[in-house]
Amino acid sequence: MSRTIVCDGNEAAAWGVALSRPDMVAVYPITPQSSLAEYISQFVADGIINADLMDVEGEHSVLSVLHGACLAGARTFTASCGQGLAFMFEPYFRTPPLRLPIVMSIVTRDGITPQCVWGGQQDAMTVREVGWVHMYCETAQEIMDTVVMAYRIAEHREVMLPVNVNHDGNYLSYCVEKVEIPDQEEVDDFLGEKNTNWHVALDPDRPMGVDPLTGGAGGPGPALFVRYRKGQCKGMQTALRVITEVHEEWGKRFGRYYAPLVEEYRLDDAEYAIVTIGSMAGAGKDAVDLARESGEKVGLIKIKTFRPFPLKVLRQSLSKVKAIGVVDRSVSFGWNSGPVYQELLSTLYFLDERIPTVSFIGGLAGADITIEHFTRVIETTAVALRGKEFAEPIWLNEND
């Protein structure tokens, strides 16, 4: 029997972990992820999660023990963010090419310096090119559901890649909502057999040399290396299909349908659209509703899956509008814009005609992106639609 509880986003993630029956969870606390680590620890203490709890000495070892366990055959989970993710980077960087289906929540946080412990997506965005699947959630329920789905995606035989389930620090981590917890047996049935190390293992019954030196000028090395890299890219591209299938199946089984890659909101007859990612979409949709009441033909595009980049689906959505305003919760220092914005420019190349764009950066360092902010975003994008160019990004909280 499913049941309904009221909890925050971090607890919802912990329930998702519990439902997924991992063999090992590793924790090291960092704000705003800490309560997620605590929920998981308590769940293990209470027997809700029957897993080895690895309370290790830092994030670097958190992911490293999971590497060892996963190579031995374990289903694993952890969560981190910000500086923790930065410290974890060395094994983090290595997880996708080892093709380890580890699931990790990033409770997104802005980066230091300046010293900052509050939300923002700078951490997850900074590691977007490493090769993990990145999915961003909008609600506590979606967090729980996506954590479970993440295992199906990660452990899919043709994917075999680690998955980050990202939720906004502060806004989702501590936001309390109604969450329905499905029946364990139904989740077991949905997840099926664990599949963690059929391809690479540290097991005396199947001895192999894991990760030999590969490459070097001459000889078979570089070609072998290319094979690994292409395989990884293929796994990522396959993940687009698998993510979609898994979301559909989840909807059928549990009645909750989420747009797997890109969600369109009031887009079909829209002249222009705003693009969002993560929890800000709620305020964005409210602002769109308000603007619609005053006759603006505006819609919203929300990105759930940012890695692999959903080029085809996004191209389809973008082709419906004549201007876009993209709201980022982090900064691309190299491009003087938001990273989502910068990547959307690549997508626009595939459209038949060039359309005006505006980059907005908001919600840094724990700041809220309110309906008022989004109303400004909509108004500014409308100005762009009428022909004005915006060469510089607009910083939403600059004058708050």
- Which part of the chain contacts other proteins (CB under 8 A), choosing from 35-43, 63-71, 177-185, 335-343? 63-71
334 binds other proteins (CB under 8 A): no
Gap between the terminal Cα atoms of the chain: 47
Question: Rounded distance, CA 111 to CA 115, Å?
Answer: 8
DSSP letters along 269-300, please? Answer: T-SEEEEEEGGGHHHHHHHHHHHHHTT--EEE
For 75, phi then psi, to 5°, come to -90, 135
202 binds other proteins (CB under 8 A): yes
220 binds other proteins (CB under 8 A): yes
Question: Rounded distance, CA 42 to CA 303, Å?
Answer: 33
* Residue 332 in tokens: 């691309």
Give the count of beta carbons closer than 10 Å to the beta carbon of residue 2: 12
Question: Rounded distance, CA 16 to CA 393, Å?
Answer: 37
Interface mask (CB under 8 A) for other proteins, residues 91-130, using x and -? x--x------------------------------------
60 binds other proteins (CB under 8 A): yes
Q: Give least dist CB 237 to other proteins, A.
A: 25
Q: Which of 215, 229, 234, 249 binds other proteins (CB under 8 A)?
A: 215
* Residue 329 in tokens: 């919760």
DSSP state for residue 278 in the 8-state scheme: G
Q: At which residue do the structure tokens 């097991």 appear?
A: 203
Footprint on residues 22-51 left by other proteins (CB under 8 A): 23-24, 26
Q: Give least dist CB 45 to other proteins, A.
A: 17
Burial of 208 (0-12, 13-18, 19+ CB in 10 A): exposed
- Which part of the chain contacts other proteins (CB under 8 A), choosing from 59-67, 147-155, 232-240, 382-390? 59-67
66 binds other proteins (CB under 8 A): yes
Q: Give least dist CB 70 to other proteins, A.
A: 8
Please give the size of the binding site for other proteins, defined by CB under 8 A.
44
In the beta sheet, which residues pair with residue 302? 263, 276
Helix (H, G, I), strand (E, B) or coil at 19: helix
Interface mask (CB under 8 A) for other proteins, residues 239-268, using x and -? ------------------------------
Q: Give least dist CB 158 to other proteins, A.
A: 22
Q: Which of 157, 178, 199, 206 binds other proteins (CB under 8 A)?
A: 206
The nearer residue to other proteins, 60 or 320, going by C-beta atoms, is 60
Residue among 322, 298, 314, 319 at smallest CA distance from 377: 298
What are the CB-based long-range contacts (under 8 Å, 24+) for 221-225?
A: none
Q: Which of 90, 188, 248, 249 binds other proteins (CB under 8 A)?
A: 90
392 binds other proteins (CB under 8 A): no
Q: Which of 11, 18, 49, 67 binds other proteins (CB under 8 A)?
A: 67
Q: Which of 61, 232, 342, 380 binds other proteins (CB under 8 A)?
A: 61
Instruction: Please give the angle made by the CA atoms of 239, 177 and 36, to the nearest 5 degrees.
Output: 65
Q: Which of 47, 114, 204, 295 binds other proteins (CB under 8 A)?
A: 204
Torsional sign, CA 276, 282, 285, 291: negative
- Which part of the chain contacts other proteins (CB under 8 A), choosing from 132-140, 195-203, 368-376, 377-385? 195-203
Question: Rounded distance, CA 198 to CA 160, Å?
Answer: 10
Q: Give least dist CB 147 to other proteins, A.
A: 20
Binding site for other proteins (CB under 8 A): 23-24, 26, 52, 54-58, 60-61, 64-74, 90-91, 94, 201-204, 206-216, 219-221, 224
